[in-house]
Amino acid sequence: MSDDEVDHELLDLLRKSLGIGPADPSAPPETKVLQNAQYIYDNSVDVALDMRHTKLAAISVLEEMQKREYSTTAWAKHQLHPEAKDESTVRFIFTVDLLNFSFWSEKSDDERYAVTYRGKKWTGYWSLVAAIQRALDEEIPITDSDFWINEEECTDEVLRSVFRSDTEAEIPMFEERVKCLREAGQILQEEFDSSVSTLIDDAKNSAAGLVNMLAERFPCFRDEAKFERKMVRFLKRAQIFVADLWAAFEGEAYGSFNDIDKITMFADYRVPQMLHSLGVLVYCPPLEGKLRRFETIEPGHSWELQIRGCSIWAVELLRREILKLQPDAEVNAILIDFFLYDLAKEREAAEVEAIPHHRTRSIWY
Ligand SMILES: Nc1nc2c(c(CN[C@H]3C=C[C@H](O)[C@@H]3O)cn2[C@@H]2O[C@H](COP(=O)(O)O)[C@@H](O)[C@H]2O)c(=O)[nH]1
């Protein structure tokens, strides 16, 4: 059997094990994330959704999104996001979403990992974006994938400097982040001419196709787990990469996808917290107690998977309720998700009371 035949054989086995089914080249690509989320919701006993609060939330979310004229343009308006509509932003987004995970800290706000940039101290997701912007200002080609595999230039010391903190705490999972960069740089060089835009072109304007390609070719994007004996896919960073491209390029050029509405909510640790604040997501008392005691939940634990899967399904139900209120609303799971994340951060900054988000340490989100 030739290498190519072996690859197809392996890919078919992988597809069958993921329940994606044989590759029918004519069928449009599907990620199975939403289907898997519904399976998790249907089989969850520790996390539930409250339909009354979902209907109420639909009214308030729609009203606030319309008031803010919330759209893809909000993405580039964030102070630290790049505004250029060119390949440098494609590389920027890929770099960010390769590393867009696990910023939460057991330390106090003053001691946690932080990056000061443009006169402001950034934490969480924004600390990552600030670190990358700072590196680019310092002429370090941190968004160039060939740099990631150049062991002479891109040493661990250089990367420690890129992600240096304004506090004693270093960025969480530093070693895992270095591994993601090196692995992705290798795969991009071997399979995509060291070019993220080649990777995007290969997906032929399919959002689901691009998500599936990332999951198949890059182990560090393969965000899946076993729930009740079934493999389920969340693909959070693969999906948010596609969504960030779509938003940054406002649905044009590198952000032009013919099936963008197949992208679901991104199963992270911040939006479930917001869904709980809205009364949409409900936790059983033992789980709620664990969260309120700031105890960690192991990756792959049923509680973690129920929180992630039910959150994806909750945003889908929220989306449906919003469209019942206003059938022509320019709203999809991506924009609802982005809005809920930004709202959660605004409420956190305003010290509005909220249940602590769940604490799972992993590279998936
Ligand atoms: N579901 C969802 N998860 C998101 C984001 C973002 C930022 N997206 C920007 C782009 C457009 C939006 O308007 C945002 O401005 C980060 N995260 C995740 O949250 C966690 C970080 O939380 P904290 O430590 O509090 O910053 C971590 O898992 C990270 O991967 C999002 O949008 N949706």
What confidence tens digit (pLDDT) does each residue in 105-125 have?
A: 999 999 999 999 999 999 999
Protein residue with least CA distance to atom 32, ligand 1 = 338
* Cα 164 to averaged position of ligand 1 atoms, centre (Å): 21
One-letter identity of residue 103: F
Asked if 257 contacts 206 with a C-beta cutoff of 8 angstroms, the reply is yes
pLDDT in the model for residue 1: 62
Q: Is the pLDDT of residue 21 over 70?
A: no
Task: Tell me how crowded residue 52 is: count the other CB atoms within 10 A of its CB.
Answer: 9
Mean pLDDT of 171-177: 98
Asked if 131 contacts 163 with a C-beta cutoff of 8 angstroms, the reply is yes
Protein residue with least CA distance to atom 18, ligand 1 = 268
Q: Is the pLDDT of residue 8 over 90?
A: no
Q: Is the pLDDT of residue 18 over 80?
A: no
The residues assigned a catalytic role are: 268
pLDDT in the model for residue 40: 98
* Cα 190 to averaged position of ligand 1 atoms, centre (Å): 30
Percent of the chain with pLDDT over 90: 93
- Using most ligand atoms within 8 A of CB, pick from 270, 318, 365 the residue to mutate for ligand 1: 270
pLDDT in the model for residue 2: 66
pLDDT in the model for residue 27: 85
Protein residue with least CA distance to atom 1, ligand 1 = 266
pLDDT in the model for residue 15: 67
**Contact 269 CB / ligand 1 (< 6 Å):** yes
Query: Which ligand 1 atom is nearest residue 125's CA?
Result: 26
Pairing of strands 115-117, 47-49: unpaired
pLDDT in the model for residue 7: 66
Q: Is the pLDDT of residue 143 over 60?
A: yes
pLDDT in the model for residue 4: 62
Residue listed under structure tokens 């630290």: 80
One-letter identity of residue 47: V
Q: Is the pLDDT of residue 287 over 60?
A: yes
* Cα 347 to averaged position of ligand 1 atoms, centre (Å): 14
* Cα 153 to averaged position of ligand 1 atoms, centre (Å): 30
Tokens matching residue 90: 């494609």
Q: Is the pLDDT of residue 44 over 80?
A: yes
Q: Max Cα separation, the chain?
A: 62
